Amino acid sequence: MDFRLLKEEEELRLKVREFVQAELVPLESIFDEAPDIFEGTRWKTRARLSSDPEVKRYIEVMEGLERKAEARGLWYLDVPKQYGGLQVSNVAMIAVTEELEQSSVPFELGNHVSNILYGCKGEQVERFLLPCIRGEKTACFGLTEPGAGSDPSMLATTASPDGDYFILNGSKIFPTFADVADFIQVFARLPGTQGHEGITCFLVETGTPGYQVVRSVATIAGTEPCELVFENCRVPKGQVLGELGKGWALNQAWLGARRFQVGIRSHGMAKRTLRLVRDYFKDAVADSEKSGVSLGGFIGELEALRSLTYFGAWKADQGMDVRFEAASVKLFSTELLHRVIDFGLEVIGPSAFRKTHKLGRFFRHARIRRIIEGPSEIQRHIIQRALFREGAALMEIR
């Protein structure tokens, strides 16, 4: 087992570090006041629709950063070589994100492309994939339904074949950006199937007749998930992503890869929280000694999280089964981050509850991470299942 970076990956990591220090760290104080819509790369979708001059000012700053990152060759990092990207490994992407997380400016390198979209074939590539890679289009993800959240195998949205089309009927809750995205990656089931069987992923443009946004719901993290209804929505057969009836595997692939990014992002936010606590205590030596015990404990736990995250990403790079590591990282990272932020709020006290204080913002974003993409209880179930599947092997020291 060796998950050290290759020479060129180490060089990439150092380039990202330089970029973060030169370009992001100096902007931190102005981004403390920024609206939450500038979180993540998909900020563009919503922010660009805003006529608020304050939002437009931030867009200019973000776009300036994008141009600088692209000029330094820090774009298209995880994009496959066949589409003009660097196709860096999962481990290298973890290292890149770890560097980005040194700063609280919510900036990501590259446009948001879900990994399952690389399964596009034929004309889907030109119509859906390439515009997302170039940042010209954005996609949302529609899996959760009123009766199928933690257990998506219960999903009830149907896709009935009709000549060269499928007719989609059903409803989705929470697809983030479904009101502003260009298309949705939506999961529906073929008639007469149940459980994991028959689930199929479709690429559906948001303007397609029968695609209806019922409402969008503002959340404490600034994102606005929606409620959607599909009513006799006709989708050409050519818009099936991957194989018919094999959508469950796509959903698993999407979640698996994301969880290591969630792990390293949570690690970064937790470390920034501990730095705030340390700075707060600079002049209060007595209190600092009291809290030193908690600080030391958290730092140890964060190191364990970091190692597990790199290990999981390394296993994913080897094409190995990472269900156990992905669930462990999602559970451990989001729960640990929550405890660290709660500790920060406790020791810094009332001033940290100011709406624009970094910790208040961290808290709102971190809380949602324990639910979205599978709540903690579900991760515990997955880990438990792995224990029974792999039996004694999991209990051995590897």
Ligand X SMILES: Cc1cc2nc3c(=O)[nH]c(=O)nc-3n(C[C@H](O)[C@H](O)[C@H](O)COP(=O)(O)OP(=O)(O)OC[C@H]3O[C@@H](n4cnc5c(N)ncnc54)[C@H](O)[C@@H]3O)c2cc1C
Identified binder of ligand X from the candidate list 371, 382, 387, 390, rule CB under 6 A: 371
CB of 69 to ligand X, least distance (A): 25
Q: Give the 3-state secondary structure of residue 200.
A: strand
Question: Is the sign of the CA dihedral 149, 108, 128, 91 positive or negative?
Answer: negative
Q: Identity (one letter) of the amino acid at 180? A: V
The interface mask with ligand X, positions 137-156, x = CB under 6 A, is: ---xxxxx----xx------
Residue 142 or residue 256: which is nearer to ligand X going by CB? 142
Joined tokens for residue 373: 């993409």
Task: Check: CB of residue 145 under 8 Å from CB of residue 172.
Answer: yes
Q: How many residues bind ligand X (CB under 6 A)?
A: 23
Identified binder of ligand X from the candidate list 198, 222, 263, 374, rule CB under 6 A: 374
Identified binder of ligand X from the candidate list 50, 114, 160, 219, rule CB under 6 A: 219
Q: Give the 3-state secondary structure of residue 188.
A: strand
174 near ligand X, rule: CB under 6 A? yes
Residue nearest to ligand X (CB): 149
Identified binder of ligand X from the candidate list 65, 213, 372, 382, rule CB under 6 A: 372
Rg (CA), the chain: 22
Residue 143 or residue 199: which is nearer to ligand X going by CB? 143
Q: Identity (one letter) of the amino acid at 313? A: A
CA 367 to CA 369: how far, in whole Å?
5
CA 182 to CA 204: how far, in whole Å?
9
Residue 150 or residue 153: which is nearer to ligand X going by CB? 150
Number of C-alpha atoms within 13 angstroms, CB side, residue 388?
5
Residue 174 or residue 281: which is nearer to ligand X going by CB? 174
Task: Check: CB of residue 316 under 8 Å from CB of residue 322.
Answer: yes
Of 86-94, 216-224, 258-266, 278-286, which part binds ligand X (CB under 6 A)? 216-224
Of 42-50, 117-125, 170-178, 342-350, which part binds ligand X (CB under 6 A)? 170-178
260 near ligand X, rule: CB under 6 A? no
Identified binder of ligand X from the candidate list 368, 382, 387, 390, rule CB under 6 A: 368
Q: Give the 3-state secondary structure of residue 184.
A: strand
Residue 166 or residue 177: which is nearer to ligand X going by CB? 177
Residue 124 or residue 171: which is nearer to ligand X going by CB? 171
Residue 89 or residue 223: which is nearer to ligand X going by CB? 223
Question: Would you list the DSSP string of 282-334?
Answer: TT-HHHHHHHHHHHHHHHHHHHHHHHHHHHHHHHHHTT---HHHHHHHHHHHH
170 near ligand X, rule: CB under 6 A? no
Among residues 175, 141, 138, 132, the alpha carbon closest in space to that of 47 is found at 138
Residues in contact with ligand X by the rule CB under 6 A: 140-144, 149-150, 174-176, 219, 221, 223, 225, 368, 371-375, 377-378, 381
